């Protein structure tokens, strides 16, 4: 308790009336719930305002044949858009591409991010600089970094081919983005580079929240480092891992810029968002495009549900 005592003493003059009210047993809980709602209200209000209308609108348009240049003439078409969507091979291809992309990039990002976070959690000279440097890939605007990677993958003046040719690993230049399989791999690599910092930083914050005392106690008890990692670090890091994975997966499932810059609208690598954008912007199909957006929402919801089920324990445990 020594950690918080000074704060208490300096900040709160005992307030008898409130203390009495607060300690009044069951009343305390009710009072806390009311406070919780009061505290939540501004956030909910802001979200209802900025996200509420756009999302409601999307949900409504999904059942119409709205066309961007003639919005006023939109008619209700029921589930028609979804019927078309479910039979469109290009859509299913984009779902498949997106899932492959997400699973591949998020899992590698998790492993690398955890490794980086562990390194950054150790005290050493230059740690501050490394912590700043690690964020560089995340800090370069995606529109630019995606173009940069496209440039690096170029078959004639790209740096990867140059390195490969110089070192003798490649006999001739490879067009990384032209072939279906290497294109997806190349896109995943670029995303790993881009988003690992996000993962690393969130996990680092999680590591910082683990009391160092626990490790000391473990060392005294003769627990090895690997065991300490498995039995102390991982369980305590679980909530941070969950939130990092959820948000990274959410982002990966909505990937747009990276793929659009690398391979444009090519069906073999297009993601769900690329498909949605094509419908909403290029084709002006607001109705159909909104239905696509709604489907993307459901696909993402399935992933979120899977995470939560898998890691349920850590969420419910303390709440």
Partner 1 sequence: MLKKWARSALMGLTLSALIGAILPVAGAVEITIACGAVGIESRLCREGTESWAAATGHRVRLIQSPNLSNNRLALFQQMLAAGSSDVDLFQIDVIWPGILATHLIDLNPYYGEEQRQAHWKTLIDNNTIGGELKAIPWFTDIGLLYYRSDLLDKYGLPVPETWSQLASAAMRVVDAEREAGRVRMTGFVFQARAYEGLTCNALEWIASYGGGQILSPGGAIDLHNPRAVSALNQVAGWIGTFVSKGVLTYDEEDARGVFQSGNAVFMRNWPYAWALAQADGSPVKGLVGVAPLPKGGIDGRHAGTLGGWGLAVSRYSKHPALAADLARHLTSEAEQIRRAIAGAFNPTRPAVYRNAAVLAAHPFMGSLSELMDNAVVRPSRIAGERYNQFSTIFWNAVHDILSGRAAAADSLAAAERRLRRLSRNGRW
Partner 2 sequence: MNARIIKTALERTGFAAAVVAIFTFSVFPLYWALITSWQKGSEVYTVRYLPSAISWANYRAVFIEQSFGHNLVNSALVAAGTVGVSLALSVFAAYGLGRVRFRGRMLLLFTILGASMFPQIAVLSGLFELIGWMGLYNRLPGLVLAYLIFTLPFSVWVLTIFMQRLPREIEEAALVDGASPRVVVLRILVPLVRPAMVTTGLLAFIAAWNEFLFALTLTLTDRARTVPVAISLITGASQYELPWGRVMAASVIVTVPLVLLVLVFQRRIVSGLILGGVKG
3-state DSSP assignment of residue 76? strand
Nearest distance, CB of residue 175 and partner 1, angstroms: 3
Nearest distance, CB of residue 164 and partner 1, angstroms: 11
Decide: is 159 part of the binding site for partner 1 (CB under 8 A).
no
- Report 2-41 residues binding partner 2 (CB under 8 A): 2-4, 7-8, 11-16, 18-19, 22-23, 28, 32-33, 35-40
Decide: is 266 part of the binding site for partner 1 (CB under 8 A).
yes
Taking the CB of residue 317, how many other CB atoms lie within 10 A of it? 9
Count Cα neighbours of 147 within 13 Å in the Cβ-side half-sphere.
4
Decide: is 129 part of the binding site for partner 2 (CB under 8 A).
yes
* Per-residue binding letters, 152-181, with partner 2 (x by CB under 8 A): x----xxx--x-------------------
Contact predicate 98/164, CB 8 Å = no
Select from 36-44, 56-64, 154-162, 309-317 the region that touches partner 1 (CB under 8 A). 154-162
* Per-residue binding letters, 162-191, with partner 1 (x by CB under 8 A): ---x------xx-x-xxxx--x--------
Nearest distance, CB of residue 73 and partner 2, angstroms: 16
Q: Which of partner 2, partner 1, none binds 177 (CB below 5-8 Å, type-dependent)?
A: partner 1
Using CA atoms, how far residue 48 sits from 58, 237, 301, 305, 316, in Å, is 14, 32, 19, 23, 26
* Residues 268, 273, 278: CA angle, nearest 5 degrees: 80
Nearer to partner 2, 98 or 181 (CB): 98
Decide: is 272 part of the binding site for partner 1 (CB under 8 A).
no
Nearer to partner 2, 181 or 316 (CB): 316
Decide: is 284 part of the binding site for partner 1 (CB under 8 A).
yes
Cα separation, 114 vs 238, whole angstroms: 12
Nearest distance, CB of residue 173 and partner 1, angstroms: 6
Single out the residue of 264, 305, 310, 312 in contact with partner 1 (rule: CB under 8 A). Answer: 264
| Residues lying near partner 1 in the complex (CB under 8 A) | 67-71, 150, 154-157, 165, 172-173, 175, 177-180, 183, 262-268, 278, 281-284
């Amino acid at each position: 308790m020594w950690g918080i005592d000074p704060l208490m003493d300096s900040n709160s003059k005992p307030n008898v009336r409130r203390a009495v009210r607060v300690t009044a047993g069951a009343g305390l809980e009710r009072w806390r719930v009311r406070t919780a709602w009061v505290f939540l209200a501004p956030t909910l209000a802001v979200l209802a305002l900025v996200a509420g209308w756009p999302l409601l609108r999307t949900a409504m348009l999904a059942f119409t044949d709205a066309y961007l240049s003639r919005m006023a003439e939109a008619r209700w078409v029921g589930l028609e858009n979804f019927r078309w969507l479910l039979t469109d091979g290009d859509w299913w291809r984009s779902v498949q591409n997106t899932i492959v992309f997400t699973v591949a990039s998020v899992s590698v990002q998790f492993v690398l991010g955890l490794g980086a976070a562990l390194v950054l959690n150790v005290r050493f000279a230059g740690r501050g600089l490394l912590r700043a440097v690690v964020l560089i890939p995340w800090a370069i605007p995606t529109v630019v970094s995606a173009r940069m990677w496209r440039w690096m993958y170029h078959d004639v003046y790209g740096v990867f081919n140059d390195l490969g040719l110089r070192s003798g690993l490649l006999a001739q230049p490879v067009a990384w983005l032209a072939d279906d399989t290497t294109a997806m791999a190349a896109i995943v690599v670029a995303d790993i580079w881009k988003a690992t910092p996000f993962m690393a930083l969130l996990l680092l914050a999680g590591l910082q929240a683990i009391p160092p005392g626990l490790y000391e106690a473990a060392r005294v008890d003769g627990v090895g480092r690997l065991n300490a990692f498995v039995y102390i670090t991982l369980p305590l890091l679980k909530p941070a891992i969950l939130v990092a994975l959820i948000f990274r997966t959410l982002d990966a499932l909505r990937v747009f810029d990276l793929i659009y810059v690398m391979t444009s609208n090519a069906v073999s690598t297009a993601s769900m968002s690329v498909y949605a954008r094509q419908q909403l912007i290029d084709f002006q199909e607001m109705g159909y495009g909104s239905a696509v957006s709604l489907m993307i929402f459901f696909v993402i919801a399935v992933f979120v549900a899977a995470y939560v089920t898998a890691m349920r324990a850590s969420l419910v445990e303390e709440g």
